[in-house]
């Protein structure tokens, strides 16, 4: 009887490990990307439709737009990404992201402590703003260091950080990526 109980406990614990969903946190600067709406929606669909545990944060000056459920996403994303948003206010974005993490993900991500579960971060922006606002130092690194996702040793094993950089037709794809941090996966569109 003890063996049967032990087998059931091991079985249910292993099911929990295999079914663990990755939390997805998506940051979008749409102040210039609204012209790339179809590409962005295609990318978002691939991220969001397979997950129920996500947060989309669309930077919008001092009043960001938050989407955190599939119904709201399906209903509003096309309209929201069709409009150009005001330029980002990175200080406000960091403060509000911190508030959202405390509210929505308090059981997963902890201030100065590191995550307790798998998390993927996605940052979507155009190349001009990426460089102009120095997103790596002024947003991405600040969030990652604040939550002990990034340390001197690199990115925490249970985290993945991705940036999707959109370029204008007039801009040449960057071939020298030495300025881009090697711990982040970059894709250019």
CATH number, domain with residue 43: 3.40.50
Q: Which residues of the chain have pLDDT under 70?
A: 1-20, 34-35, 168-189
Q: Nearest 5°: phi and psi at 92?
A: -65, -45
CB 123 within 8 A of CB 140: yes
Q: Looking at the domain assignment, is residue 104 inside a domain?
A: yes
Q: What is the CA angle 107-113-114, rounded to 5?
A: 70
The pLDDT of residue 175 is: 35
Q: Residues with Cβ < 8 Å from 42, sequence gap 6 or more?
A: none
The H helix count followed by the E strand count for the chain is: 7, 8
The structure's pTM equals 0.78
Per-residue pLDDT at 101: 87
How many of the other CB atoms lie within 10 Å of CB of 181?
18
Confirm whether 1 is domain-assigned: no
pLDDT of residue 133: 82
Which DSSP string corresponds to 133-175?
Answer: TTHIIIIIHHHHHHTTSEETTEE-TTEEEEEEEE--TTSPPP-
- The answer to whether the CB of 148 falls within 8 A of the CB of 176 is no
- Domain annotation covers residue 106: yes
The verdict on residue 15 lying in a domain is: no
Integer Cα distance of 51 and 44 in angstroms: 11
Q: Is residue 29 part of a domain?
A: yes
Tell me what pLDDT residue 97 has.
92
Q: In the prediction, which pLDDT does 148 show?
A: 81
Q: Which domain holds residue 99?
A: 21-188
Domain membership flag for residue 151? yes
Element (H, E) at 28: strand 23-29
Residue with the two structure tokens 């690199």: 154
Q: Rounded to an integer, what distance in angstroms lies between the CA atom of residue 101 and that of residue 98?
A: 5
Our count of domains for the chain comes to 1
Q: How many whole angstroms separate alpha carbon 32 and alpha carbon 107?
A: 34
**Residue 14 belongs to some domain of the structure:** no
| Position 16 in a domain | no
Each residue's pLDDT tens digit, 12-28 = 333 333 346 789 999 99
Q: What is the pLDDT of residue 176?
A: 36
> Tell me, what's the pLDDT at 169?
57
């Amino acid at each position: 009887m003890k063996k049967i109980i032990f087998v059931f406990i091991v079985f249910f614990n292993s099911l929990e490990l295999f079914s663990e969903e990755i939390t997805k946190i998506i940051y979008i600067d749409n102040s210039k990307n609204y012209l790339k709406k179809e590409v962005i929606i295609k990318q978002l669909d691939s991220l969001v439709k397979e997950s129920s545990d996500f947060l989309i944060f669309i930077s919008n000056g001092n009043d960001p737009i938050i989407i955190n459920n599939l119904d709201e996403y399906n209903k509003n994303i096309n309209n929201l990404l069709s409009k150009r948003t005001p330029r980002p206010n990175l200080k406000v974005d960091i403060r509000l992201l911190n508030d959202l993490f405390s509210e929505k993900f308090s059981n997963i991500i902890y201030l100065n402590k590191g995550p307790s579960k798998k998390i993927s971060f996605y940052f979507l922006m155009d190349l001009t703003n990426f460089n102009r606002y120095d997103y790596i130092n002024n947003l991405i690194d600040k969030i990652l260091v604040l939550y002990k996702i990034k340390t001197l040793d690199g990115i925490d094993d249970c985290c993945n950080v991705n940036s999707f950089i959109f370029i204008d037709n007039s801009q040449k794809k960057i071939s020298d990526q030495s300025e881009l941090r090697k711990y982040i996966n970059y894709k250019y569109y």
